Structure 1
Amino acid sequence: MAELLSPGAPSVQLPLPDLPFRELGLADLPALLDLGADRGWAREERKWQLLMQVGTVYGADAPDGGGLAAALALTRYGTRLAAIGMVLTAARYARRGLGRRAMRHALAAAEGAVVTLHATDNGRPLYEQLGFRTVATAPMRRGVLTPDTAVDTSRVRPARATDLGTIRELDLAVFGADRTALLTRLPAFCGQLLVAEGGGRLLGFAGTWQTVGSTVIGPVVADSTATAKALISVLAAATEGPLRLDVDSRHAELCAWLQEHGLREADWRQSVMVYGAEQAPGDLARRFVPVTVAL
C-alpha cells in the first residue's frame, strides 16, 4: 500500500498495520461520516463534533486515496480515566490488522489511565486480546416511555448555569475523574438538561440530545433508581417521537422499569469493557446512562 509523498515521487509501500495515525479536525468530518456510512453507521455529525471538542479523534488515511482507512475517538478525563469509542475500519481494509493498530495507538495515548469502551460482538475478541475485560452489558433500548404515576418528579427542574459547579462536584464523585471539559458542553449539546434536588443538595442530572431518527437520553447520573426514573420521566414527557438510551444492565431495577414502560431492548447489545483495572473508578451505583457509549 502506498503512502503519498509528493507529486511525481515514488511511493513507499507500507503494510496496513504500519499506517500512521494522525489527529483529525473538523476538516476531516466529511471523511469520518463517509467512513461510518461505509460500515452502516448513521451520519452523526454532532456526536463527532462533540468528541473532537472534549477528546481526540485519530485517523489513518486510506492508502488508495479514498478517504480514511480507520478512525477512533479517545477521551481523557485527567490522568485516571479515559474512554475509547467510535472504532471504525473501512470495509475494504477489514481483518488486516488496522483495528489492532488503532487500538494500540489509543492505549499508548491514554498514558496508563484506566480505559473504558463499549464493544460490539464483532469487536470484543480483539479488545479481549489487548487486555480488556467485560464487566457488564449495555443493550440499546428504544421506544416511547409510557407515564408512570408512581414516579415522583417534583424535585426535577431545568438546569441553570449556576448549577455547573454542583454538577461538576457530583460528577467527580461518581466517575472518580475530572470531566469538566465534557460537562461544560452539555448545555449546548443537550436539547434538555435537568437536575434533581433534595435535602438542599444535588441528587442527579440528566439530558437528551438529537441523533438521526431519534432522541437520545444521556447522561443519567443519580443518587438512586428513584431519582433516575424521575429524571427520565420528565425528559420523556417533553419529547416527541421515539427515545433511545443505553443503560448499564447492572441497574436491573431501572432496566425492568424501562422494559415495562415501553423502552424495550433492541437487537443492538454491547459489552461494557475495562482496561487497566477490575472496574472503572468512581461509583457505579450512581452511573446509569452515559452521554453516549463513545464517552
Structure 2
Amino acid sequence: MTSSPAPPPVRRLTLADLPACLALAADRGWTREEHKWRLLLTAGQGYGIDAPADDPPPGSPGPGRHPRGGLIGAFVLTSYGPPAGSPDRTAYTCVSMVLVAGRHARRGLGRRLMRHALAESGSAAVFLTATDFGRPLYEELGFVPVGTTTMLTGRFARDGADGRTAGVPVRDATAADLPAVLALDAPVFGADRTHLLARLPSFADHFVVAAAASGTGITGFAAAWPNEGTTVLGPVVAEDETTARALIAELASRTDGPVRYDADTRHRGLTDWLRAHGLTGDTTNTLMVHGAPDIPGDIGRRFAPYSVALG
C-alpha cells in the first residue's frame, strides 16, 4: 500500500520569489501591488509553499489551468520589537498577504500557513487585518476582533478643506527629522518600527511632517506611496485630528489621481471629513489580535496605518 507523498514544506521566501508572489496574488483576483510586495519581502519575512511536482495534472493548459511551478500558498510576517527603553513591553508580529491558490482552496492550506505564522511568532502577540472571508479562520485560531477599518478612495477635493488646517505648518521631511519621527511614533504605534519608517524616504513619493508652533520639534508625520491605481496615504501619526487633517490635505494636494485612505472607524470625525472631501467606500476589514488585549499603541494619535498589511 503506497502512502501519500508528504506535503511540500513551508519555506522562507526571498526577493527572488517576488514574481511568484505577484502571480499568486493575481490568481486570487488581487491586484499585483509590486511596490508593496517588494517592501514586505525586504522589511518583513515572507513564507510560502511551492507547488508540488504533479501540480497541475498533466494535460494542455486551458481556461482556468495554471503552468507548473510557482507558489500555492504564502504569507508575510513583519516583526516589531518593544519601543526603545521599554524592554518590559510586548513584542508584536503582523501577519499579512495570506494567500492560497484557487485550485488548492479548501484543503487546509490557509490554516497550515496561519499555524506556521503563530509558531514563527513565538511569544510575540500577533495582529492582522482580516477580510470577511478570512475572519472565521482567524477566530478559530484564537484571534479576537478589536476594531474596524474602512477603505476610502477617490479624488480629494482640496478646495474648501477645513480652514483650521491652514494654521498647521507642513513641510517635507528631511533626514534630520528621523529621530523626532521615531520618538513621536514609539508611543503612538506602541512598538519599534524603525526598520519601516527609515524606508519611507525611498518607498514613498512624499514624506511630510507637521512642525510644532514653537518652531522646535514636530507634531505629526505622514507619507503617500504609489500602489496599483491609487496613491495610499499612510502612515498618518499626529498629536490631534486637526494636525492629521493638515497632513492629509497637503499630501492629497500633491497627488494626481485617486487616493486611498484606510480609516479606523473610531476616528468618526476624520472619516466624515474625508467623505465630505470626495472620498467614498464601504469596504470594511476587521483588526484582530492574538495573545494580547489589543493591537499596540495609542489609537487617539494613530490616524492611518503604514498599510493594512503592516499596521
TM-score (normalised: structure 1): 0.92
Task: Indicate how the Cα distance of structure 1 residues 12 and 95 shifts in structure 2: closer, same or farther if over 3 A, else same.
Answer: closer
Instruction: Report the equivalent of 2:95.
Output: 84
Q: Distance in 1 between the 2:124 and 2:48 partners?
A: 21
Cα separation, partners in 2 of 1:276 and 1:194, compared to 1, 3 Å: same
Q: What CA distance in whole angstroms lies between the structure 2 residues aligned with 1:287 and 1:34?
A: 33
The 3-state SS of whatever aligns with 1:269 is: strand
Distance 1:230 1:162, change over 3 A: same
Q: Show the 5 A alignment for 1:29-178.
A: 29-63=18-52, 64=55, 65-78=68-81, 80-147=91-158, 148-153=161-166, 154-178=168-192
Partner SS for 1:247: strand
Give CA-to-partner distance per residue, 1:171-224, whole Å, 9 cap, x none: 111122111110110110000000012133321110001111111111111111
Partner of 1:265: 281
CA distance in 1, matches of 2:208, 2:3: 55
Counterpart residue number, 1:203: 219
Aligned to 1:4: none
| Equivalent-residue separation in structure 2 for 1:12 and 1:202 (angstroms) | 61
Q: TM-score, normalised by structure 2?
A: 0.87
**What does 1:200-239 correspond to in 2, within 5 Å?**
200-239=216-255
Q: Count residues with an aligned counterpart.
A: 282
After superposition, give the CA deviation of every residue in 1:149-177 in whole Å (9 maximum; x if it has no partner): 41324411100000111111111111221
Task: Show structure 1 runs of 5+ residues with no match.
Answer: 1-9
Shift of 1:82: 1.3
Counterparts of 1:259 and 1:149 in 2: how far apart (Å)?
A: 13
Query: What is the match of residue 5 of structure 1?
Result: none
Deviation string, structure 1 residues 76-106 (Cα, Å, up to 9, x no partner): 0126111111110000111111001101111
Residues 76-85 or 96-105, more deviating: 76-85
Structure-1 separation of matches of 2:269 and 2:165 = 16
The one-letter amino acid paired with 1:233 is A
* Inter-partner Cα distance in structure 2 for 1:242 and 1:273: 28
Q: Which residue number corresponds to residue 59 of structure 2?
A: none
Structure 2: 5+ residue stretches without partners: 56-67, 83-90
Match of 2:307 in 1: 292
Equivalent residue letter for 2:165: D
- The amino acid that maps onto 2:116 is H
For residues 37 and 230 of structure 1, the distance between their equivalents in structure 2, rounded to whole angstroms, comes to 36
Q: Determine the C-alpha separation between the residues in 1 that align with 2:19 and 2:164.
A: 43
Q: Among the aligned pairs, what percent are the same residue? A: 52
Please give the alpha-carbon distance, in whole angstroms, between the structure 1 residues aligned to 2:12 and 2:36: 17
Residues 12-62 of structure 1 show CA distances to partners (whole Å, capped at 9, x for unaligned) of 613xxx531111112111111000000111111111110111110100011
Supply the distance in 2 between the matched residues of 1:277 and 1:99 (Cα, whole angstroms).
22
Q: 1:66: how far off?
A: 2.9
Taking the aligned partners of 1:11 and 1:209, their CA distance within structure 2 comes to 50
Asked if the contact 2:14–2:41 (Cα under 8 Å) also holds between the matched residues in 1, the reply is yes
